[in-house]
Structure 1
């Protein structure tokens, strides 16, 4: 069994992934900014970790010891038109979603490279390959994570280290119930926001389902790089692969019921 460190384990997909991997017998190191939020997780170790802090990441490296699998899961989302989203929020999303993952990669992969063994699993999203309106910055962070992962796969693969990307669709974790949003009182994009209301959690893929895909990707003996997760992700990515841009735009508008 592997020794696995997961970022963002306090809730949602990170928590579900920690539980699934622990259930399968792996030695799970769950991490979160506030370690007390992990108290009830039945895992091997619980560590405080803020991926936006160099000091916190260095401390986690010292405390964790050998790590066979690094799962970069920590991420945040915000909703706003690109023309008016505050740059403070743009920086925040990149700091967590992209730079945080890169900090963890730089901290933990040198030991994997030296051992010529290990796995880096980056939790991307279907929007890492398909961008949607009003979440352009979040989408761009996932596109960036996909690009980092592709480069990393070629760099580390030479040393026997696997790099894997999991691409979920909408996950019923509650993250979309009330995301941070930036709209003015008479914002011209309010009609678009109204048309982009998300369905109830019950219609989304449960985090436990995505967690099983992550665990399967960790345990797979094959060197599959991308793992779509959830029926909506699989359908959208299949359409993206076979349709040209105008046809996919039409299909996406229909799928989103987007009158804009």
Structure 2
């Protein structure tokens, strides 16, 4: 069984993944910015790790010891039109969703490279391959994450490191409810916000995504991109089949 470190394990997909992997017999190191939120998880270690803080990352990786698999899951989202989204919010998402993932990866890779083995699993989204209105900053951070992950697959495959990107669609977690929303009174983009619910379609559970993550870790030769659930597969197929010379507007938006 593998030693697996999970970022953002206090709730949602990260928490479900920690439980799933522990039940499968893996040595799980659950991490979060506030380690007290990890209480009760059936894991080997519970550590403080803030992906936006280099000292925090360094301390956590020293405490974790050897790690065979990184599940890079920590992330956040926001609701706002690009015309008026506070740029500080965009920077915050990139620091957490993109740069934070790379920061932890950089701490892991030397050991993996020297051992000639390792797994990097990035929890992305279908929005790493397509865009949804009003969630543009989140999508942009996930597109950037997928670019980093695919580059890592090329650069590190020679050293025995395998990279996978798990791409859920709509997931039944509290992430959307916790997202900040930035709209003016009588905002001209408000009709798009009201239509976001129609885009969610088939919603899967965090436990279903966790099973996909665990299955990916346990596959001898995992693919680079792994859609999580039938709805994600359909959405990504539709994006792939759509013309590239015009914006792709998902079904369910009347604009």
Q: TM-score, normalised by structure 1?
A: 0.94
Tell me if the contact between 2:71 and 2:120 (Cα under 8 Å) persists in the aligned partners.
Answer: yes
Unaligned 5+ residue runs, structure 2? none
1:157 alignment partner in structure 2: 157
2:182 alignment partner in structure 1: 182
Tell me if the contact between 2:126 and 2:236 (Cα under 8 Å) persists in the aligned partners.
Answer: yes
CA distance, structure 1, for counterparts of residue 2 and residue 178 of structure 2: 36
Q: Per the alignment, do residues 82 and 188 of structure 1 end up closer, same or farther by CA in structure 2, a change over 3 Å counting?
A: same
Tell me if the contact between 1:239 and 1:248 (Cα under 8 Å) persists in the aligned partners.
Answer: no
Check if 1:75 corresponds to 2:70. Answer: no
Q: Which shifted more, 98-107 or 235-244?
A: 235-244
1:212 alignment partner in structure 2: 211
Secondary structure of 1:16's match? Answer: helix
Check if 1:259 corresponds to 2:254. Answer: yes
Secondary structure of 1:142's match? Answer: helix
Tell me if the contact between 1:20 and 1:211 (Cα under 8 Å) persists in the aligned partners.
Answer: yes
Check if 1:225 corresponds to 2:224. Answer: yes
Tell me if the contact between 1:52 and 1:100 (Cα under 8 Å) persists in the aligned partners.
Answer: yes
2:236 alignment partner in structure 1: 237
Unaligned 5+ residue runs, structure 1? none
CA deviations 1:6-39 (Å, max 9, x no partner) are 0000000000000000010000000001111111
The 5 Å alignment of 1:113-132 reads 113-132=113-132
Secondary structure of 2:121's match? Answer: strand
CA distance, structure 2, for counterparts of residue 122 and residue 113 of structure 1: 18
Q: TM-score, normalised by structure 2?
A: 0.96
CA distance, structure 2, for counterparts of residue 177 and residue 216 of structure 1: 28
1:100 alignment partner in structure 2: 100
Q: Aligned pair count?
A: 255
Q: Per the alignment, do residues 172 and 249 of structure 1 end up closer, same or farther by CA in structure 2, a change over 3 Å counting?
A: same
CA drift of 1:232 comes to 1.4
CA drift of 1:247 comes to 8.9
CA distance, structure 2, for counterparts of residue 220 and residue 236 of structure 1: 24
1:8 alignment partner in structure 2: 8
CA distance, structure 2, for counterparts of residue 183 and residue 148 of structure 1: 31
Tell me if the contact between 2:170 and 2:200 (Cα under 8 Å) persists in the aligned partners.
Answer: no
Tell me if the contact between 1:240 and 1:248 (Cα under 8 Å) persists in the aligned partners.
Answer: no
CA distance, structure 1, for counterparts of residue 233 and residue 239 of structure 2: 10
Tell me if the contact between 2:7 and 2:71 (Cα under 8 Å) persists in the aligned partners.
Answer: yes
